Amino acid sequence: MPNRPQGKSKPRSATFRARYDDLEKRRDELMARLVLLAQNIAPHPALGRARTLLNSTFRKSSLVQRAAVLQAADWLITMIDRSQTML
């Protein structure tokens, strides 16, 4: 093909599967943190939203969007934790 550079192309930093596995591992870590937090504090309305982010919203999102969903869930879990320590 005339538009393709000759020789070897640059290898990608990570394959799709490696990125997918990294996101799943991060999701599992956040789920464990959320479960631990839910056991140690009084019921908080945002716990359900964090669980939704980590389950259905995460599953419906594309691979690129999943990183942002995990970041939002991490932030929300941190805010729940901080609000409970202030009480």
The number of folded domains in the chain is: 1
Assigned token pair, 49? 């939203």
d(CA 80, CA 47): 8
The interaxial angle of helices 16-40 and 63-86, nearest 10 deg, is 20
* pLDDT interval class at 60 (50, 70, 90): very high
Average pLDDT, the chain: 87
Of 13-22, 23-32, 63-72, the one with minimum mean pLDDT is 13-22
Domain assignment of residue 72, given as a range: 16-86
The pTM of this model reads: 0.78
